[in-house]
Structure 1
């Protein structure tokens, strides 16, 4: 998303990190880069880890250089990395947290009309405070573009569903090729791409491919177990759920469903209690007749507004 991840976010971070490091001396740039390198990234962020930040990127008129995916990861982990170093009443940090919330709302795959209204107020508060806190900083055009995001959300739904990141990912097909025809490059690119798409959409015996838009779920390697021996306390409930008296099931460590990967140990929202999420830790994954079943351990969660995370612990 050009407006946030390649515009407003690096602009904001360059100013707030300069203040925290060189003005307030809350930590050093060396410590910050060490924290980025040593952060225990999850499997969701394994391919989009942020790069260390150089002094010239936050000093003066510099801007932080990261890819869009790496910048999104940095936004996710930033409160956890430096939140404990920031005073609770720091107004600069509070405004940075507003931007973090804006990014979370804009990259979510779900929204309501209330989400758009809340996002509108959040953007107004962020922009007003940014101008007050950094009077000498430039007010870049992409900050103005943020004002239109709530309207876009109301008209077309979650912003994640119509951002530019997937279109830019498509450019990889063209940039990874090597061409010797310089006479008519657009024709070469277009014709070869259309041939490639025709090949990908062709199925068995010339019919349409059934796996072009969705190749199916993925199931990791595992073992066959006797469910009643491993989970005797859950056997009756599992038999009622599956409507058969099961014996052998397939136990695996991860599955991917509609592009979302789930692994043992990840936290999932299983319910809501008066708009407060109820979390569960994925304890085990069982597959029976191509159906995936999750065994969850319910946990207690407490929200920490200073770092924008839920701290969970077993009940």
Structure 2
């Protein structure tokens, strides 16, 4: 790209020319991600425009931001973990696979064909977004510090309790070129609680 527009090389163009080499050396460029910074910066840009006060803009923005934080922290429910879910639907038991039905029957008390089952696509639990298909860290081997993973298959709500069905994944090894773990499916299904998924790492990972 640089040789095509040699007189119009902006910082973004310069950075792009180095991405290929950095990906080859360090794997996916997740450390270049700056959306949280941009989101926070957007608040200050909007505040500067609305306040229309540029005599001491640093003092004005910092004071308004601190007052806003004090207001949020004074709210009684700011730190409460409100459960939010999306796309709920009723699921018939005969519409599930035999393995899932058997797993629910063996682990859920008073579970039968009359039990109401709700399924959703994603769940916000304890300020963490849990989505179907995401991969979470299950355990970490203390000897070699190799993590084992599990992939979320279903998000059910049964008897007003969240029941998450995950598939256990086998860790084959770590690929330095891609800077990621190579995983293999085991078709072993387990039932987990929301806290079990975010116990070690409070985020879900993508799988390719």
Sort the TM-score into its range (normalised by shorter chain): 0.5 to 0.7
Which residue of structure 1 lines up, in the alignment, with residue 180 of structure 2? 309
Instruction: Please give the alpha-carbon distance, in whole angstroms, between the structure 1 residues aligned to 2:111 and 2:53.
Output: 64
Q: For residues 195 and 251 of structure 1, do their structure 2 counterparts lie closer, same or farther at Cα, with a shift above 3 Å needed?
A: same
Q: Which has the higher contact order (CA 8 A, sep 6+)?
A: 2
Does 1:216 find its partner at 2:161?
Answer: no
TM-score by length of structure 2 reads 0.57
SS class of match (2:91): strand
Instruction: Please give the alpha-carbon distance, in whole angstroms, between the structure 2 residues aligned to 1:253 and 1:188.
Output: 42
Which residue of structure 2 lines up, in the alignment, with residue 85 of structure 1? none
Which residue of structure 1 lines up, in the alignment, with residue 195 of structure 2? none
Structure 1 residue 165: Cα displacement: 8.8
Which residue of structure 1 lines up, in the alignment, with residue 15 of structure 2? 64
Which residue of structure 2 lines up, in the alignment, with residue 234 of structure 1? 103
Tell me, yes or no, if the aligned pair for 2:81 and 2:127 is still in contact at 8 Å. Answer: no
TM-score by length of structure 1 reads 0.40
Instruction: Please give the alpha-carbon distance, in whole angstroms, between the structure 1 residues aligned to 2:133 and 2:121.
Output: 10
Instruction: Please give the alpha-carbon distance, in whole angstroms, between the structure 1 residues aligned to 2:54 and 2:159.
Output: 53
Tell me, yes or no, if the aligned pair for 1:251 and 1:285 is still in contact at 8 Å. Answer: yes
Which residue of structure 2 lines up, in the alignment, with residue 174 of structure 1? 44
Tell me, yes or no, if the aligned pair for 1:227 and 1:235 is still in contact at 8 Å. Answer: no
Q: For residues 199 and 310 of structure 1, do their structure 2 counterparts lie closer, same or farther at Cα, with a shift above 3 Å needed?
A: closer
Q: For residues 251 and 262 of structure 1, do their structure 2 counterparts lie closer, same or farther at Cα, with a shift above 3 Å needed?
A: same
Q: For residues 176 and 291 of structure 1, do their structure 2 counterparts lie closer, same or farther at Cα, with a shift above 3 Å needed?
A: farther
Instruction: Please give the alpha-carbon distance, in whole angstroms, between the structure 1 residues aligned to 2:57 and 2:167.
Output: 57
Q: Which moved more, 1:165-174 or 1:220-229?
A: 165-174
Does 1:287 find its partner at 2:157?
Answer: yes
Instruction: Please give the alpha-carbon distance, in whole angstroms, between the structure 1 residues aligned to 2:184 and 2:152.
Output: 13
1:271 is aligned, of 129, 139, 142, to 139
Instruction: Please give the alpha-carbon distance, in whole angstroms, between the structure 1 residues aligned to 2:67 and 2:182.
Output: 51
Instruction: Please give the alpha-carbon distance, in whole angstroms, between the structure 2 residues aligned to 1:281 and 1:166.
Output: 26
Structure 1 residue 182: Cα displacement: 4.3
How many residue pairs were aligned? 167
Structure 1 residue 168: Cα displacement: 7.4
Tell me, yes or no, if the aligned pair for 1:228 and 1:235 is still in contact at 8 Å. Answer: no
Tell me, yes or no, if the aligned pair for 2:86 and 2:121 is still in contact at 8 Å. Answer: yes
Instruction: Please give the alpha-carbon distance, in whole angstroms, between the structure 1 residues aligned to 2:169 and 2:54.
Output: 61
SS class of match (2:43): helix
Q: For residues 300 and 172 of structure 1, do their structure 2 counterparts lie closer, same or farther at Cα, with a shift above 3 Å needed?
A: same
SS class of match (2:15): coil
SS class of match (2:154): strand
Higher share of residues assigned strand = 2
SS class of match (1:212): coil
Instruction: Please give the alpha-carbon distance, in whole angstroms, between the structure 1 residues aligned to 2:36 and 2:61.
Output: 19
Tell me, yes or no, if the aligned pair for 1:226 and 1:249 is still in contact at 8 Å. Answer: yes
Structure 1 residue 251: Cα displacement: 0.5
SS class of match (1:176): helix
